[in-house]
């Protein structure tokens, strides 16, 4: 079965790509993912705060004896909170690129583009074949307009794209008033791919201590529907590669995303639950599904269920909403 796909110009042997997670924090783990059949690996993210911390530490050598440095450091997480610093990250990218024969994709996580540009180039020089920008920004400030948020994304993409020659993917939030329009703007800014979607981790309340606590819940197959819908709507309309992420657990999830128009399908939660060997299950299962349904290649399936390919394209829009509500009402009355 021909599972080959193209992502940002990279020729990949199949569409299964482990997304940024702790599984890429060592060369041995990356080799296990590659041996299991992964076609590429997205490195865990290097955080903007880490880069600013390093810059602050360098500045302290020239500002010894002043009080401003200690105050500046108080705004950032402690260095011990990060398992790998910027220099160790670059070393890991280099060693991983030499250890496996699949593309290593670097990842930068932050809000602004300050400090990103120089490290984007360093990640490229370390051997990364592409770079993923994970712009993790929740627009909570009521004084900042939606257009300013969009501008922040676009400026970050332009700045990084101007510094590298490798392909650039943007991991996009679903919280835009017009995702289609924003996708086109990012394409014009230099994005070679869109990764749909970034999952914002939601805090919880501890009612005993009345405190806000961080909470991490791994995704499930039910989480595929939002990115599934938008990949199906963007396929063929915005000339960028599309990567699906969030909720990928089973072979059926992979098939749905490819049918919607995804060039690659990223997964992390399933691999954290089942280990790197789950990549093999997804790759082999995808090949079996295609054979059983008489497909000759992954290209034949790709986009077959996108908005532009189905008989009823409005099913992705408002008409589908009305039908679902009316159908539920009928089922409830029957009970």
Find which of 51-60, 79-88, 253-262 is predicted with most confidence, using mean pLDDT: 253-262
Residue 84 has pLDDT above 70, yes or no: no
**Tokens 């997205």 appear where?**
42
pLDDT tens sequence across 192-231? 999 999 876 677 888 888 888 776 667 677 889 999 999 9
pLDDT at 112: 64
pLDDT at 68: 39
Q: List the single range of 33-42, 88-97, 201-210, 294-303 with lowest mean pLDDT.
A: 201-210
pLDDT at 317: 67
Q: pLDDT higher for 91 or 139? A: 91
DSSP H or E run through 152: helix 146-161
- The Cα–Cα gap between 248 and 256 comes to 10
Strand partners, 172: 196
- The Cα–Cα gap between 238 and 243 comes to 13
Q: In this structure, are residues 109 and 132 in contact, taking their beta carbons and an 8 Å threshold?
A: no
- The Cα–Cα gap between 113 and 48 comes to 8
Q: What is the torsional sign of CA 303, 305, 307, 312?
A: positive
pLDDT at 95: 98
What does the mean pLDDT of the chain come to?
84
Establish how many alpha carbons lie within 13 A of residue 213's alpha carbon, considering only the half-sphere containing its beta carbon. 11
Q: pLDDT higher for 201 or 123? A: 123
Which residues are CB-contacts of 259 (< 8 A; sequence separation ≥ 6)? Answer: 301, 302, 303, 304, 305, 306
Of the chain, the end-to-end C-alpha distance in Å amounts to 46
Q: pLDDT higher for 80 or 179? A: 179
- Written as six digits, the tokens of 6 are 């193209």
- Written as six digits, the tokens of 226 are 């939002």
Let me know how long the chain is: 335
pLDDT at 70: 41
CB under 8 Å, gap of 24 or more: what pairs does 72-78 form?
76/49, 76/52, 77/49, 77/53
Q: In this structure, are residues 69 and 59 in contact, taking their beta carbons and an 8 Å threshold?
A: yes
pLDDT over 70, % of the chain: 79
Band the pLDDT of 138: cuts 50, 70, 90: confident
Q: pLDDT higher for 56 or 159? A: 159
CA 80 to chain centre: 25
Nearest by Cα to 257 from 285, 299, 277, 229: 229
Cα three-residue angle 157-124-107, rounded to 5 degrees: 55
Q: List the single range of 12-16, 46-50, 226-230, 329-333 with lowest mean pLDDT.
A: 329-333
**Tokens 């499930």 appear where?**
220
pLDDT at 71: 41
Average pLDDT of the residues in 296-314: 89
- The Cα–Cα gap between 284 and 160 comes to 36
Average pLDDT of the residues in 134-143: 79
Q: List the single range of 15-29, 106-120, 156-170, 282-296 with lowest mean pLDDT.
A: 106-120
Nearest by Cα to 228 from 255, 251, 267, 202: 255
Residue 252 has pLDDT above 60, yes or no: yes
């Amino acid at each position: 079965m021909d599972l080959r796909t193209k992502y940002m110009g990279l020729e990949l042997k199949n569409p299964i790509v482990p997304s940024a997670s702790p599984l890429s924090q060592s060369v041995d783990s990356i080799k296990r993912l590659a041996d299991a059949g992964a076609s590429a690996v997205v490195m865990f993210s290097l955080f903007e705060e880490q880069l600013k911390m390093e810059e602050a530490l360098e500045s302290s050598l020239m500002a010894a004896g002043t009080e401003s440095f200690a105050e500046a450091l108080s705004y950032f997480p402690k260095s011990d909170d990060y398992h790998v610093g910027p220099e160790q990250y670059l070393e890991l990218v280099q060693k991983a690129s030499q250890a496996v024969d699949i593309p290593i994709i670097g990842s930068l996580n932050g809000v602004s583009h300050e400090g990103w540009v120089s490290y984007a180039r360093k990640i490229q020089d370390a051997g990364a074949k592409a770079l993923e920008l994970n712009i993790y920004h929740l627009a909570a400030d009521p004084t900042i307009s939606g257009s300013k948020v969009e501008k922040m994304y676009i400026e970050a993409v332009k700045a990084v794209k101007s510094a590298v020659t490798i392909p650039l993917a943007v991991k996009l939030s679903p919280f835009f008033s017009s995702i289609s329009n924003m996708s086109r703007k990012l394409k014009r800014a230099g994005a070679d791919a869109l990764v749909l979607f970034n999952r914002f981790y939601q805090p919880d309340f501890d009612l005993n201590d009345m405190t806000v606590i961080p909470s991490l819940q791994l995704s499930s197959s039910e989480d595929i529907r939002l990115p599934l819908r938008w990949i199906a709507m963007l396929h063929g309309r915005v000339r960028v590669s599309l990567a699906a992420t969030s909720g990928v657990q089973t072979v059926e999830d992979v098939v749905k995303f490819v049918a919607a128009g995804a060039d690659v399908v990223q997964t992390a939660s399933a691999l954290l639950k089942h280990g790197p060997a789950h990549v093999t299950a997804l790759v082999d299962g995808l090949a079996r599904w295609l054979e059983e349904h008489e497909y000759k290649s992954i290209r034949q399936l790709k986009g077959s269920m996108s908005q532009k390919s189905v008989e009823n394209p409005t099913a992705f829009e408002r008409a589908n909403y009305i039908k679902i509500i009316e159908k539920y009402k009928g089922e409830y009355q029957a009970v």
